[in-house]
Amino acid sequence: MVSWSGRRKVLTILAFIGPTILGILALNIYPIIYNVYISFTNRNQYHPNPDCSIFLTSIIEPGCWPMFRSDAGLGTPYVLQDPLLENYDSLIGKLFTGDGVLAMLRLVLVIVPLIVAGQVNKRLERQLDRQVPSYLVWLGGIALTVLLVWVLDAGGAMKTLQDGSAFFIVIFRTLLFVAITVPINYIFGLILALILNGEHIKGRTFFRSVMIIPWAASTMFIIMSLIWQFFFREQGTINQIIRAFGGEGTAWLANGNYAMAAIILVNLWFSFPFCFNIILGSLQSIPVDQYEAADVDGATYWQQLVNITLPLLRPSVLPAIVLSAIGAGGFQMFGTVWAMTAGGPSQGAGVPGATELVMVYAYKQVFQFNAYAKAGAFAVIIFAFLFIATLYSLRVTRITKGAYE
């Protein structure tokens, strides 16, 4: 590009990205700093107000800034916690006692055989004539895992951890939710895309247009979730169908496991069109001659799928998968759960409800229990996790390249 430098360059660039920086500073960075600070205090329903005579508080609280200064409301002001990490301790402290660490170690050990199996398979893949088929390796890994679950008493370890902290329950449940819902969404998307990419299907345009509809509706997830919630009610569609066949339905959303399954199903409805479109898009960019060559070599459909299609889909689909997993359709799922179950059904006082995922838990802590400080500590831990996950996803996607590289 034509060279232009010095002050003019700085000013021009600032003019272009200045507003963005300002907005991000005020409404993204400031909340992060605020949450970090508040997580060290005891701000809750009993101590809701800032004490402007404390230096840090007077900087961080807009209500303390000279131009906005207003009389503080009733109630005692919040102060820094005495052991400074009190909130963090109450959230994850119990995980780091002797019992907790031991239990976590046992859980980690249980999945080691699966990781080893994956690595062994990768190694074997590079050999020209592999003697051991991959399913045997996987079977071995799974068998070993099952054995370890039994030997190490993984169930007991889980129980130790869950009794210890609501934090663990919520995180573990959310990770489990992501591990189930994201693959389901993408598998349905993949099957659909594979079918609709074939030339023998009639009405392909029609089907593609149909699949757009849930995508459009998913932008108004609150309304659609409320409608879906209706299907699962005691007098809802599903129970009526069951009754028509002589069965007896249940109140689906009053049962923890069913409620979770319902949310996964609704999330599938919201998400599969996106997955389908992403996969179809990259399927169409695979050159046909690859398949023609494979046909000449006599490869079956499944061999072509495993050895051509899936590997070529990987670079464009993997980023989407990672982003789904850490985004609003995965780890940060909120709206659908909120509209369908609001985190319930309840599992007893003080214990998170059966569908209380990370964001629902945080929302409840803030807006139902006014536990600002505790929620702040929670936010900081979650953010650390999401920050790393995002950086990892960037490594996978390599989308930071500019026009010149």
Partner 1 sequence: MSRRPRPLVMVLQYVFLGFMTLFALYPIWFVIIASGRVGSRLYTLNLLGMFIPTEWSFENYQLMLSGTPYPFLTWMRNSLFVAGLTTVACLLIATSAAFAFSRFRFYGREFGLVLLLAIQAFPGVLSLVPVAQLLTAFQLYASHWGLILAYTVGNLVFTTWLMKGYFDTIPVEIEEAAMIDGCGPIQSFLLVGLPMAKPALAVTALLAFMGGWGEYVFASVLIPAPDARRTLMVGMYSLANTQSIPWGYFAAGAVMTIIPVILVYTYFQKYLVGGLTLGGVKG
Whether residue 174 contacts residue 263, with contact meaning beta carbons closer than 8 Å, is answered with no
Phi then psi for 287, rounded to 5 degrees?
Answer: -65, 140
Nearest-approach distance from CB 208 to partner 1, in angstroms: 7
32 lies in the binding site for partner 1 (CB under 8 A) = yes
Q: Which stretch binds partner 1 (CB under 8 A): 4-12, 101-109, 169-177, 246-254?
A: 4-12
Minimum distance of partner 1 from residue 128's CB (angstroms):
27
How many residues comprise the chain?
Answer: 405
Q: Is 344 or 376 the residue whose CB approaches partner 1 more closely? A: 376
CB of 132 to partner 1, least distance (A): 30
How many CB atoms lie under 10 A from the CB of residue 149? Answer: 17
Selection from 176, 99, 166 nearest residue 351 by Cα: 166
How far the first Cα of the chain sits from its last, in Å, is 13
375-387 burial: b if 16+ Cβ within 10 Å, else e: bbbbbbbbeeeee
Contact call for residue 232 and partner 1 (CB under 8 A): no
Q: Is 187 in the site for partner 1 (CB under 8 A)?
A: no
Whole-number minimum distance, CB 52 to partner 1, in Å?
13
Site membership for partner 1, residue 278 (CB under 8 A):
yes
Comparing CB distances to partner 1, the nearer of 29 and 105 is 29
In which region does residue 80 sit, left (phi positive, over 0), alpha (psi from -120 to 50) or beta (all else)?
beta
Give the residue with the Cβ less far from partner 1, 14 or 136. Answer: 14
Residues contacting partner 1: total by CB under 8 A: 118
Q: Please select the residue that binds partner 1; options are 29, 101, 112, 293, rule is CB under 8 A.
A: 29
- Write down the least CB distance from residue 344 to partner 1, Å: 14
Q: Which stretch binds partner 1 (CB under 8 A): 100-108, 141-149, 165-173, 225-233?
A: 225-233
Contact call for residue 323 and partner 1 (CB under 8 A): yes
Under the binding rule (CB under 8 A), the answer on residue 183 touching partner 1 is: no
* CB 269 to partner 1: min, Å: 7
Question: Least distance from C-beta 353 to partner 1, angstroms?
Answer: 16
Rule CB under 8 A: choose which of 138, 172, 231, 258 binds partner 1.
231
Locus of tokens 């169930």: 155
Shortest distance, CB of residue 272 to partner 1, whole angstroms?
8
Compute the Cα dihedral for 120, 122, 127, 131 and give only its sign: positive
The answer to whether residue 327 forms part of the interface with partner 1 (CB under 8 A) is yes
Of residues 331-350, those binding partner 1 (CB under 8 A): 332, 334-335, 338-339
Residue in 269, 337, 341, 354 binding partner 1, rule: CB under 8 A: 269
| Contact between 42 and partner 1 per CB under 8 A | no
Minimum distance between the CB of residue 68 and partner 1, rounded to whole angstroms? 4
Name which position in 142, 187, 220, 310 contacts partner 1 (CB under 8 A). Answer: 220
Query: What's the min distance (Å) between Cβ of 141 and partner 1?
Result: 31
From 112, 146, 293, 394, residue interacting with partner 1 (rule: CB under 8 A): 394
Site for partner 1 in 369-388 (CB under 8 A): 372, 375-376, 378-379, 382-383, 386-387
Q: What mask, x for binding partner 1 by CB under 8 A, covers residues 59 to 98?
A: --xxx-x--x------------------------------
Q: Which residues partner with 65 through β-bridges?
A: none
